[in-house]
Structure 1
């Protein structure tokens, strides 16, 4: 019974980070073991990535002076436009084009530049066309 306790006694991490390691991870804690795996994989993948970049550069055909458009990153909609708080999956999109959290989703809670009054007038004008009477020619 004493042997089992000695075998199961936690050992400090071999990197000295303050956590306990295990024999399965070669005396490292889970975080140090994960970092060591990433460091072991990173040099191998970077050399293959450089080789792939060189091969891709060689295969690009030279056009007749036309340049490729610069790559733009898609704007993430995971932050509130007013406070910067994360909105997650339930972000509220306003008519002004911003994405807002639950506290700033209404137009009076953020600086909304959308003209609701003008949009309402336009909607009514489209829904109710002007009816003009015919001239008095029918008499």
Structure 2
């Protein structure tokens, strides 16, 4: 029944059978919550008709789309290159650490249960001060020249 209810016709029919007995009057002062719920859940989303482009407008649209996809591809490739460089630098550092000090190398590989620095750092928030309001504050007097 779930798959059937996804078609607009079946959805309308289901909507009518479910809500016909429980809908409330829409008279002034009446409760319209069930009617609103019915509309939100069961009415199909009204969408504007898509614009069909022809000729030069279609060519312009396709050119813009290709340029956007090219831009996104270049961004993705740049991000992948950056991550690759970071990974290589990390591998070089780990190899150097392995050659230098075996104890530190093994310590770097172990995942600790203890919270590390980035997790301990206080996240900037826009919450009020913990001290509250300073009722004794006096505004500085303006200097008159």
User: Which structure's relative contact order is higher, taking Cα pairs within 8 Å and 6+ residues apart?
Assistant: 2
Higher helix share: 2
Higher strand proportion (structure 1 or 2): 1
Task: Give TM class, smaller chain.
Answer: 0.3 to 0.5
